[in-house]
Amino acid sequence: MKSTSGQAFAPSAGASVQAIDGRAALVQQVLASRTFAKSVRLTRFLEFICLKTIEGKARELNEQQIGIHVFDRSPDYSASDDSIVRTQARLLRQRLEEYFEHECPTSPEIISIPKGGYVPVFEPRSGRLQSPAQLHGSDVAAPTGQIQVASPEQQTTSQRIPEGNAKRRSLSLSLSVAVAAILMAVLFLYLWRINRIETPSDTLWSNVFSSGRPVVIVPSDDALVLFEELTQSAVPLDQYLSGSYLQKAKLPQAGNTPLSSEWFAAHQYTSTADLNLAMRLGRIPEAVKSNVETRNARVVRIDDLKSRNVILIGGIGANPWVSLFSKRLNFDVNYDWKNSQGYVLNKHPERGESEMYRDATSDGSHRSYGVLAWLPGIEDDGQVLLFQGTGMAGTESAADFPFNVNSFRSFAKQIGATPEKMPYFEALLETTSVGGNAPEARLVAFRVIKP
C-alpha cells in the first residue's frame, strides 16, 4: 500500500512482515470503502496516521504535524487557535465506528483512535463488545436463569424424545433455516442493488470506466502554476507542449537560487489534493476493473487523449489540456495572473445568473468556484471528465460533488439521468472556506451538453 506521498508502507523495527501486511491491507480496505468515499480529508487523515504508525513513527503524530501534512497548514500555524485537527479527528472516530459497525460488521480486526490522541490502534474485534450475531456459535456460557437442555446421558428414559419425532423436528428445523437463509440472501441482494447500482454517481463512473476504453488521469502541473505566477502571464497549450514558453521568459530570482528555464524543465510537481483525487478515483469499483493510469500533464500527447477516456484535474492555468474543450463549455474557468484572481465566465447567462463569478475574500472567508463537466472527447472520440476550479478549494468542490450522494442524486434528476445513461453536463459550484476548512459546495448553475 502507498501513501499520498507515494511512499510504500515499510515494516518497523521488530514488527513481523505478516503483521505489517495485515494492517496495511486493513487500512486499504477501509480507505476503499463507501463510508470513506465521500470525504477526501478524512481519507487523507486516516491514511497519514496509519502510515506513520505502521512505519513505527507514532511519536510524530501530534496536532501540529497532522495540521501541516494533512490539512496543508503552514509550519508555524497555531494549533491552539485552529481546531481543524481536533474537529476532523472527532469525525474520523465516528466514521470508523460507522464503517466497522455497519459496512463491515464481520471484520475480525478493527481500527480505532482513542480519545486524547491521534495514534490509531489495530485490535481484534473480540477485544470489544460483540453483537449477538458475532457471538452466535462461540463458546459462551448460558446466562443465569436461561433454560439449559441436559445431555442424553443426563436425561431419563421418559424425558427422551422419540426417534421419529426427533427426525421430523430436525428436518423441519433444517428447512426453516434454509428458507431463512434464502430470504436473507434475497434481501441482501435487493439492498445492494438499491444502494450500489441505482446511485447516479455509479452511473457516471460506469460511463467513465466501463466503456472498454483505457482511462488516463491527468493531474495539474504545479510547476507551471509557479511559472505563471512569477511571469504574471498564462501559458497557451501549444507553447506548453513545445516548451517554447520557457525559452522566452525572463524569470526573477528566488533568494540566492535562480529559477531558470532549466529548473522548470527538470521539475514536475502536482498538488496533494490532485493526487488524493486520483487515488480516490482509482479505488472506485468500476475503476478497479478497468485499465487506468495517471500521467503528468507535461508528458501527455494529443494521441493519448484520442485513444482513451480522459480525466483532467485543475483549471486552465494548472492544466492547459482543458483548453481543448473550452469551446464546448458555457462556464469558462480562468485566472487573472496580474491581479491574482480566479474567475468563471458565464458565456450565455440565463435568468438569475451572473456573467462573471469571481473569487473573493471577506471577513476571513474565501469564496471560490469549481466546475465539474462530463462531455465528449476530442473529435467526439471517447469521453472526458473535467474537475476544474478557480483555485485549489474550487477544484476540491468539483471533486467532492459526484461523491456527495444526496446532492448529486438531486442534480442527476434535474438533468434527466437514468441508471443506464448519464447525459453530458457541466455544473458550476460555489464554496466558501474559512481557515482552510471548506464546507459542502453549493450548486449555482448547470447546463446539459448536447453531443
Report residue 365's pLDDT band, with 50, 70 and 90 as the boundaries.
confident
DSSP 324: G
What mean pLDDT is predicted for residues 231-245? 89
Q: Is the pLDDT of residue 258 over 90?
A: no
Give the contacts of 418 (CB within 8 A, at least 6 positions apart).
203
Q: Which domain-ending residue is among 72, 97, 131?
A: 131
What mean pLDDT is predicted for residues 61-78? 87
Distances in whole angstroms, Cα of residue 178 to Cα of each of 168, 184, 246, 361: 15, 10, 72, 64
Report residue 179's pLDDT band, with 50, 70 and 90 as the boundaries.
low
- The neighbour count for residue 441, using CB atoms within 10 Å, is 26
Select from 444, 117, 395, 363 the least CA-distant residue to 270.
395
Q: Which domain-ending residue is among 71, 101, 131?
A: 131
Does residue 332 contact residue 344 with C-beta atoms inside 8 Å? yes
Q: Is the pLDDT of residue 12 over 70?
A: no
Q: 303 is written with which cell numbers?
A: 494521441
Q: Backbone phi, then psi, for 385, in 5-degree steps?
A: -120, 125
DSSP 235: -
Q: Are 70 and 205 within one domain? A: no
Q: 367 is written with which cell numbers?
A: 469564496
Report residue 165's pLDDT band, with 50, 70 and 90 as the boundaries.
low
Higher pLDDT, 178 or 191: 178
Helices 392-400, 40-54: crossing angle, 10 deg rounding: 100
Q: What percent of the chain has pLDDT above 90? A: 30
Mean model confidence pLDDT for the chain: 79
E strands, 202-261, in order: 215-218, 253-254, 257-258
Q: Are 275 and 373 within one domain? A: yes
State the pLDDT at residue 230: 84
Higher pLDDT, 395 or 189: 395
Distances in whole angstroms, Cα of residue 278 to Cα of each of 15, 314, 387, 404, 438: 31, 12, 11, 17, 20
The residue type found at 298 is R
Tell me the three state secondary structure of residue 76.
coil
Is 416 inside a domain boundary? Answer: yes
Q: 117 is written with which cell numbers?
A: 490522541
State the pLDDT at residue 66: 92
Q: Is the pLDDT of residue 249 over 70?
A: no
State the pLDDT at residue 260: 75
Higher pLDDT, 174 or 98: 98
* Per-residue model confidence as pLDDT tens digits over 380-402: 788 999 999 998 888 989 999 99
Q: Is the pLDDT of residue 245 over 90?
A: no
Q: Is the pLDDT of residue 32 over 70?
A: yes
Is 256 inside a domain boundary? Answer: no
Q: Are 298 and 427 within one domain? A: yes
Its domain, for residue 58, covers 17-131
State the pLDDT at residue 161: 45
Q: How many CA atoms lie within 13 A of 310 on its CB side?
A: 30
Report how far residue 210's alpha carbon sits from residue 205's, in angstroms, rounded to the nearest whole number. 8
What mean pLDDT is predicted for residues 243-267? 72
Is 177 inside a domain boundary? Answer: no
Report residue 134's pLDDT band, with 50, 70 and 90 as the boundaries.
very low
Q: Is the pLDDT of residue 104 over 70?
A: yes
pTM, full prediction: 0.58
State the pLDDT at residue 343: 95
Facing residues of 50 across strands?
none
Is 28 inside a domain boundary? Answer: yes
Is 165 inside a domain boundary? Answer: no
Report how far residue 15's alpha carbon sits from residue 19's, in angstroms, rounded to the nearest whole number. 7
* Per-residue model confidence as pLDDT tens digits over 193-221: 444 445 788 889 988 997 678 999 999 99
Does residue 209 contact residue 286 with C-beta atoms inside 8 Å? yes
Report how far residue 414's alpha carbon sits from residue 447's, in angstroms, rounded to the nearest whole number. 10
* Per-residue model confidence as pLDDT tens digits over 135-161: 333 333 333 333 333 344 444 444 444
Is 350 inside a domain boundary? Answer: yes
* Per-residue model confidence as pLDDT tens digits over 304-350: 888 889 999 999 999 999 999 999 999 999 999 888 899 999 999 99
Q: How many domains does the chain have?
A: 2
End-to-end CA distance of the chain: 40
Q: Which domain-ending residue is among 82, 109, 131?
A: 131
Is 163 inside a domain boundary? Answer: no
Is 9 inside a domain boundary? Answer: no
Q: Are 119 and 204 within one domain? A: no
Select from 249, 223, 220, 243 the least CA-distant residue to 387.
220
Q: Is the pLDDT of residue 447 over 90?
A: yes
Q: What percent of the chain has pLDDT above 70? A: 75
Q: Is the pLDDT of residue 115 over 60?
A: yes
Q: Is the pLDDT of residue 55 over 90?
A: no
Select from 272, 402, 248, 332 the least CA-distant residue to 7.
272
Q: Would you state the torsion angle of the CA atoms of residues 48, 53, 57, 60, taken in this order, to the nearest 10 degrees?
A: 60
Q: Are 104 and 208 within one domain? A: no
Q: Are 437 and 335 within one domain? A: yes
* Per-residue model confidence as pLDDT tens digits over 286-299: 888 889 999 889 88
Q: Is the pLDDT of residue 19 over 70?
A: no
